[in-house]
Amino acid sequence: MDNEKHSKELHIGDLVKAELKRQERSIAWLAKQIGYTRQNLYHLLSRPYIYTDLLLKISDILDHDFFGCLSSEWQNKRKETNESLNDK
């Protein structure tokens, strides 16, 4: 899959920021929890990808399954691909 196309469809940093907002927590709060500076965390969340060990840590802290979001997206894309191949 084209990384540029994928990053437009699912941006893990945006998902983390949305969950922070839902929980009424700040990026500064999360940065402190994971031992990053606020600036470093802003930079990390601006990217469409994140290291799995960091995502696991963030998932634990926010008690949110970000891996499930990624898995659902992968399953949806796989289903769409299979359907488009079957239509040909």
14 in Cβ contact with 44 (< 8 Å): no
Distance CA 66, CA 74 (A): 13
CATH 3.40.50.450 fits 3-87, yes or no: no
Coil, helix or strand at residue 21: helix
What tokens appear for 2 in the block? 């084209």
pLDDT in tens, the chain (88 residues): 444 444 457 889 999 999 999 999 999 999 999 999 999 999 999 998 899 999 999 999 999 999 998 888 888 888 877 777 777 6
12-22 helix and 52-62 helix, angle to the nearest 10 degrees: 10
Whole-prediction pTM: 0.75
| Residue spans per domain, the chain | 3-87
pLDDT at position 71, please? 85
pLDDT the model gives residue 13: 93
pLDDT at 66: 92
